[in-house]
Each structure stands twice: as structure tokens, then as C-alpha cells.
Amino acid sequence: MTREQRAHVILAPLKVWAGLLVLLGLTFGYAYLPHGPIKAEASLGIAAAKALLIAIFFMQLRKAAWLVRLAAMAGVVWVSFLYMIALADYLTR
């Protein structure tokens, strides 16, 4: 393993970890702001960014085979379908 490869192996997870900590700080700070018109959307956007970082780097979906990527996308589609059903049930009551 060359020196550049070792630096990438060490620095890449540290950069992702730092990014997750920044997003955690944003979540923590945003929780104490007064309720605004886009508070829920901003919180969901921050959560989506965290999930995307974890999926791409720690689950290694960037380098995964097409079948693994397809399974990950099927999971995302299924969860979004379940959320839509739950929202429809909530809105009709």
C-alpha cells in the first residue's frame, strides 16, 4: 500500500465523520430555533444528507455492484411508499 493510499484510507473516513459532526451540530442548533415555515423541511434535508453520507461512504455504495445499488434503491422506494401510506392515513382522519 502506497503512502497516498494509506492517507486516503485514513483521511476519507475522518472527513465523513467531520461532515457528520457538522450536520449533527446543525441539527442540534436548528432544534432550538423558533418554529418557522420550513423547519420540518430543513430538518429532513439535514437527515437526508446524513443518510446519504453514511450510504455512500460507510456502506460503500459508490463502489458496489449494480445489484447492491438496486437493492439499496429498492429499500428507499419501499420506505418512501410506507411513509406515503402513513401520511395518507394521517390526513384522512
- pLDDT tens sequence across 64-75: 999 999 999 999
Tell me, yes or no, if the pTM score tops 0.85. Answer: no
Residue 18 has pLDDT above 80, yes or no: yes
Q: How much is the pLDDT for 27?
A: 93
One-letter amino acid at 89 equals: D
DSSP type of residue 2: -
Is it the case that residue 8 has pLDDT exceeding 80?
A: no
Instruction: Give me the residue spans of the domains in the chain.
Output: 1-62, 64-93
Nearest CA to 53 out of 82, 90, 92, 13 is that of 13
Question: Which residue has better confidence, 4 or 23?
Answer: 23
**pLDDT of res. 9:** 81
